[in-house]
Amino acid sequence: MTISLALEQLLNGIQLGVMLFLMSAGLTLIFGVMGLINLAHGSLYMVGAFACAAVAALTGSFWLGLVASLACAAAAGAIVELLVIRRLYDRDHLDQVLATFALILIFSEGTRWLFGSFPLYLDIPPLLQGAVALPGDATYPVYRLAIIAVGALVALGLYLLIGKTRLGMRIRAGESDREMIGALGVDIRTLYTLVFALGSALAGLAGAIVGPLQSVQVGMGEPVLILAFVVIVIGGIGSIKGALIGALLVGITDTLGRLLLPQLLTLFMDPSQAGMIGGAAASMLIYVVMAVILSVKPRGLFPPAHA
């Protein structure tokens, strides 16, 4: 194995991590502020991807598609919040799980109804085509680097939004004491809808930017949703910092594990067996990491102070 291959896989891991961060930031924010577990977050990711692919196919512009994905996911999130989610805030987690599971069924079949069962494809926008050189004769696609940049920008934006603005102050206040900020005259229902729409928009963005790397199809949100769960469990539910660190940890562990474990095992056994066992073990690696972290810190790396 060469240095350039390792570097390339490391970048892939960071890119996966960044995408997971966009998903888990919304998920953890919604849980932190409203105490709601939202299984349908993966559906909003799918909505973003489909909106981007459909608008890009219609107008020929990826950038318009990107705008559409943000708008559609945020709108879908707001509608779902107004119709269903707001009835669930004072229910127990079991009801929340079931109702959002029902939403997944509705979203998935609804999308299949609208777009059919065949996957859609998105092209990488011309501006971001091509590759940059890495040390050691390797190249790396510009588009994947752009995803990493988007993730870094979103992380910075969220940090500023939550740490420095009035809205962010209210979100933080909502995390520490819901009833009190309602009593202080903040319109808590609108705040909840806003937070939910923001989280949905982030999920939609994640779906849209991943669209060109894989096919856009029904059910694409579910594997990502489960990885995002692993991320926020590792990071501590409710913590955006935890989501960022957890996402990068999961992204890099998963990508490098798939590369390194089979190679490591060839030291002990013949290559075909090492490939088989290494592949199976690598697919379980992030869950093992999660188990180890939980056995040391059952509430994740950065548990919210008040919970």
Partner 1 sequence: MVLTRENAVNLTLAVLLLAVPLAASALGQPFYITLATRIAILALAALGLNLALGLGGMVSFGHAAFFGIGGYAAGILASHALSGEPLLFDLSGTAQMPIIWLVAVIAAGLVALAIGALSLRTSGVYFIMITLAFAQMVYYFAISWPAYGGEDGLSIAVRNQFPGTNTMRPLNFFFVAYAVLLAGIGLFALIRASRFGAALVATRQNEIRVAALGIDPYRIRLAGFVISAMITALAGALYADLNRFVSPSMLAWHMSGELIVLIILGGTGRLFGPLAGAALYVAFEFALGGLTERWQFFLGLILLGVVLFARGGLLGLLAGKTKHG
Query: Which residues of the shown chain bind partner 1 in the complex (CB under 8 A)?
Result: 31, 37, 84, 87, 93-95, 97-99, 101-106, 108-110, 112-113, 222, 226, 229-230, 232-233, 237, 276, 279-280, 282-284, 287-288, 290-291, 294-295, 298-300
- State whether residue 185 is helix, strand or coil: coil
- Closer Cβ to partner 1, 108 or 193, answer by number: 108
Residue of 57, 51, 40 whose CA lies nearest to 108: 40
Q: Which helix (H) or strand (E) holds 187?
A: none
| C-alpha to C-alpha distances, 60 to 17, 43, 52, 55, 56, nearest whole angstrom | 29, 25, 11, 8, 5
Please report how close the Cβ of residue 31 comes to partner 1 at its closest, in angstroms.
7
Please report how close the Cβ of residue 287 comes to partner 1 at its closest, in angstroms.
4
CB–CB of 63/130 below 8 Å?
no
Count of CB atoms within 10 A of residue 92's CB? 8
Please report how close the Cβ of residue 121 comes to partner 1 at its closest, in angstroms.
23
CA 69, 222, 161: angle at the middle one, nearest 5? 50
- Tell me the C-alpha distance between 58 and 275, whole Å: 43
Place of tokens 């809205």: 167
First to last CA, the chain: 46
β-pair partners for 139: 133
CB–CB of 224/213 below 8 Å?
no
| C-alpha to C-alpha distances, 81 to 24, 100, 149, 193, 301, nearest whole angstrom | 18, 11, 30, 6, 29
- Closer Cβ to partner 1, 202 or 233, answer by number: 233
The distance between the two most distant Cα atoms of the chain, rounded to a whole number of Å, is 68
Please report how close the Cβ of residue 166 comes to partner 1 at its closest, in angstroms.
29
